[in-house]
Structure 1
Amino acid sequence: MSAPSHPTWAVAALGDEPAPLIAAFARHHRAIGASEVHIFLDRPNPDVAGMIGDREGIFITTCDQAYWDRENRGKRPERHTGRQKFVSTRVYQNSGCDWVLHCDVDEFVADEEALSKALTDADRDRGLVLRNSERVYLPECTGDMIFEGGFRRPFHLTEEDTQAIYGRFGKFLAYGLTGHRIGKTIVPTGHPWEMGVHHPKALDGGAKPKVSATPQRFLLHFDGLTPLHYAIKLLKKSFENYSGPKRKIGEAREAQYRFTRNHADRPREIVRLVTGVQSLNAAQVKQLLALDWLRMTPFFPMDCDDLDLSRATFDALLRARDGEILARAGLEM
C-alpha cells in the first residue's frame, strides 16, 4: 500500500518591493513545498523574473492597467488591501491545490514539516491560521543582510509593564509588536469563500468561515527588511490619502504614524523611533528570553544562496525607488 500523499498548497502574494525580496519569497516557498507560488507585481518590476529564474510552479503576473482591463473591467481597487483580496481570491478560485495561503512578500513560512503535518491533520471545513512572530534586531546584529535578527512573539502585558521593557517606545507597540499578531490563514479550497487579508470571507452572505490556529508560530513577519525600509513605510502610511472611510488601525500603529507626521521635518526623531521599536538592547533580550517571548534561531530563505540579499543592495534599490519621499523628509539612513 502506498503512503498517503501530503496535502498540496499554494501561496499568493501581491508585491511592490525590491526584486531581491520578491524573488527570495517565491524561491523559498517553492523550495519548502508550495506546489504553486503566485506573484502579482503591483507595478512592473522586470528584474523579478530574472532573479527567480527557470523554476517550475512559480507564476508572475504584472498588475498593470492591461491586467485590470482584462480581469476586472478596468477597475483597479484603490487600496492595496483591495488589490490583495482580488488577486488572492482569483488564485483561490482557480488553484488545483488543496489549500491556498495569502500573505505578504515580507512574510515567510519557516517550517515545512510543521506546515505539512498541520495540513494533514487539519479540518478542511475550516481555515487554518498560521500564527506569526516578528523579526527584531539583536545587539550583535551586524546589519549586513536583510534577514538578520531574532523573532519576538506577541504578549499581553499592562501598559506599565510594557513600558518597563520598552521605555518611551512601549506606547508604539501593540502586544510587543510593530505589526499584526493575528497571523495569516491558509484556506481549504472548494468552498464558496473569498480570500481576505488575514481570514477568508463568505460569498453572497453565507455563514462566516470558521478558523482554527496552529500551536506553533512558524510564519515569520519581517515588518521592514531594513531600518530604512521601515522608515519609508512609516512615511508613506503617515501621509496616505485615499477616498472613502479610513482604515481602522490599532492605537499603537496610529501612534507611530502620528509621531512620523509630527516629526516629518525632524528625520533624526524618525530614526530614533525606528530603532526603538525594532531593535532590542541586551537588557531587553534578557527579559524577553526569560519570559519565552524571543527566539534567537536565525532564518535565511531556502534556495537563495545566489541572491544578493545584502542590506546595502536592498537600501540602494529603496533609495532609487523612493528618493522623492526621502528627500522631502530629509531622511538619510
Structure 2
Amino acid sequence: MTKYYYRPLVQTGQKRPPDAVSLAGGPCWFTQVEVLQRAQEPYFVEAARLPADVLMRLEDARAPIAGIGLETPRLMGILNVTPDSFSDGGRFNGAAMALQHAQAMASSGADIIDIGGESTRPGAHEVPRDAEIARTTPVIKAVRSVLETPISIDTRKAEVAKAACDAGATMVNDVSGFTFDTGLAPFCAARDLPVFVMHSQGGPETMQDNPSYEDVVFDVYDFLEGRIQNLMEAGLPRERIVVDPGIGFGKKIEHNLALLANLSVFHSLGCAILLGISRKGFIHKIGGAEEPDARMPGSIAVGLAGVAQGVQLLRVHDVAETKQALKLWLAAIRGDC
C-alpha cells in the first residue's frame, strides 16, 4: 500500500490569500502541500484538496503543554547537571549553581526548564539510575521552591522520572523516544504528564558510528508515527505528545540538513514539534565555531529557520538571545510589536 507524506509549504505574514490555512494554530500558514512518497517524484496540491483527516492534523491548533499555549513559539531552557555534557558539563553541578542558572533562564524568557542528569553527547556512557536521581532531584526541588516555570525531566528511565515528578517536575523529555525503559510510558500516562518523544538512531555511546538511513525524513517520520501510536496505546492522548526529530542524534550532517529542510512534514503527525539544535556539532562544521559556547549565532539562525516552518518549541542554551531574536522575528512577520 502506498504511503503518502504531506509537507505544507509554509508561509508567514499578515496578508493571506482567501484559501490560506493556518498551520497548527500558530503564526504560519500555507496554501499548498508537497505530497511525498518513497522512491517517487513529489507533486504539489492545493490545501483544499487534501484528505480531510490530513488537513485537520495540519490545521488544528495544538493544545497547551502544561498550561503553556502554543499559539506562539516557546523556549525550553537547558539545565544540564552533569559533569560531562558536551556544552556546559560541570558548570551547574549542585543545587545552588543550578538554581541560579534556572532563575536566569526564567527571567530571560524560558517557558520550560529542562533538567537532565545524564549526558547524551556522542560517546557518553549510561549513568546509573541512583546517580541520575541524586544529580537531578535536589535541583528540581530547589527550582520548584522558587519558580513556577514548568520543569521537564530529561531522562530515559522511569525510576528517574518518578523521583523527578515527586520533586516537582511536570513533564518528561526522553531522547530514546520511550524505547529505553518500557515502564516510562505507562508511568507518564498514569500521571497525566506531557511528554517529548525524540528520534535517535542508537544510544549516545554508538549513535554517531556511521549512522545510515534509507531516507532520513521518511524514516524519522515513520519512527515518530509509531511511537505516537505506542504512547497512545499506553494511555497518553495525542495532545500531550510533542515530537522531536532528534537533530544530531545518530545523524550525519547531511541527515540533519535534510530534516531541517523538511521540518514542516512533521506537522502531519498532529503533534506539536520541539526542535533541539542549540550548539550542535553541525553548527561548528558549517559556521566555523569550534567551541560550543561560540555557536549561539548559528543556533539562533537555525532555530528561526525552524520557527519559520511552524515549529512550536525550541530547546536552547542561550535563552535571552533566542528570546530577543524571536520577538524581532514575530514583529517583522506581523508588522507590529
Normalising TM by the smaller chain, what interval? Answer: under 0.3
| TM-score, normalising length: structure 2 | 0.26
So what's the TM-score if we normalise by structure 1?
0.26
More contact order relative to length (CA 8 Å, sep ≥ 6): 1
